[in-house]
């Protein structure tokens, strides 16, 4: 039976103010982690791919989950977002056990995912894509105001089909659509994939800013150095296990060995 997640645990955040550093939300002392995986194992059929994963995302922080292809990073996000049920272990959001909860139930308490590969509806316009964020009774005009405030470039593309935009603009749309839902926990999968460095910098500037307003972020990246500059904590994953957790500057020195070890 899924846990009772009927009460929203997400912060009341005005995303339209994200371009400003006013009204910064300070983490509450002693608050439980925004997201925590405890001893999580997961499998595809008989093939186990996560082997006792322990991972903590503190409130209002950016945690970077790094590692080579096949390490288990995306599977970890699938478990955290409810898209995949662990075979053992527990998932907690803001101190509440949510293991086995459906993605819709987790979304209701503020867990939002931006998937790998620019999760936009290519045959719909920018405005129509943003309409998807109005499912909780929010007015489209308010959603658009927030989205275009975060990424003004989208405002100039509002009537353009998403599939005809550049890769960077599609990723902006995907991220903006997530941010306008006022998430408590944001899960990002390979945000930088296939994008020019200047676009990646712009995206991660927004990721860093939202943590000042109380949002907690778990970001998976294969190309680690694109995210280490904004991360508060970094973790290395290899062969379905967390092998190291620490300050990004410390973890960076261990990355080469982790990637080379995974390829050997």
Please say if the pLDDT value at position 262 is more than 80.
Answer: no
Query: Do the domain assignments include residue 126?
Result: no
Q: Is residue 201 part of a domain?
A: no
Predicted TM-score of the model (pTM): 0.85
Share of the chain above pLDDT 90, in %: 66
What value does the mean pLDDT take over residues 190-200?
89
Q: Is residue 232 part of a domain?
A: yes
Domain assignment present for 149: no
In a domain, 154, yes or no: no
Number of domains in the chain: 1
In this predicted structure, the answer to whether residue 115 has a pLDDT above a threshold of 50 is: yes
Tokens describing residue 34: 């925004």
CATH at residue 264? 3.40.50.300
Decide if 114 contacts 189 (C-beta within 8 A): yes
Q: In sequence order, which residues have a C-beta less than 8 Å from that of residue 38 and are 6 or more positions away?
A: 54, 89, 90, 91, 92
Tell me what pLDDT residue 224 has: 81
To the nearest 10°, the Cα dihedral for 25, 174, 235, 79? 100
Structural domain for 49, as ranges: 32-110+185-194+216-264
Residue 233 included in any domain: yes
Mean pLDDT check: name the lowest of 14-23, 89-98, 176-185.
14-23
- The residues pairing with 93 across neighbouring beta strands, listed in sequence order, are 35, 96
pLDDT digits (tens, 9 = 90+) for 39-75: 999 999 999 999 999 999 999 999 999 998 899 999 9
Q: Establish if 220 belongs to a structural domain.
A: yes
Q: Is 153 part of any domain? A: no
3-state helix vs strand vs coil in the chain, percent to 5: 35, 25, 40
Please give the pLDDT value at position 38. Answer: 98
């Amino acid at each position: 039976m899924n846990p009772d997640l009927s009460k929203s645990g997400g912060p009341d955040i005005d995303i339209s103010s994200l371009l400003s550093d006013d009204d910064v939300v300070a983490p509450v002392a002693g608050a439980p982690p925004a997201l925590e995986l405890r001893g999580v194992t997961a499998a595809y059929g008989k093939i186990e791919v996560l082997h006792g994963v322990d991972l903590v995302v503190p409130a209002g922080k950016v945690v970077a989950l790094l590692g080579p292809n096949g390490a288990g990073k995306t599977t970890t996000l699938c478990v955290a977002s409810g898209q995949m049920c662990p075979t053992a272990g527990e998932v907690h959001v803001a101190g509440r056990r949510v293991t086995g909860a459906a993605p819709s139930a987790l979304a209701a308490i503020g867990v939002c995912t931006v998937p790998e590969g620019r999760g936009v509806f290519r045959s719909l316009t920018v405005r129509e894509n943003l309409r998807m964020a109005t499912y909780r009774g929010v007015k489209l005009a308010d959603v658009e105001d927030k989205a275009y405030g975060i990424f003004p470039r989208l405002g100039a593309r509002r009537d353009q089909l998403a599939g005809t935009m550049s890769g960077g603009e599609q990723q902006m749309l995907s991220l903006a659509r997530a941010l306008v839902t006022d998430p408590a926990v944001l899960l990002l999968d390979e945000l930088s994939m296939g994008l020019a460095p200047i676009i990646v910098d712009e995206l991660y500037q927004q990721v860093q800013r939202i943590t000042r307003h109380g949002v907690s972020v778990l970001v998976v990246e294969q190309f680690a150095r694109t995210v280490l500059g904004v991360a508060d904590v970094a973790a290395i994953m290899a062969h379905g296990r967390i092998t190291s957790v620490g300050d990004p500057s410390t973890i960076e020195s261990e990355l080469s060995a982790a990637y080379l070890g995974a390829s050997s």
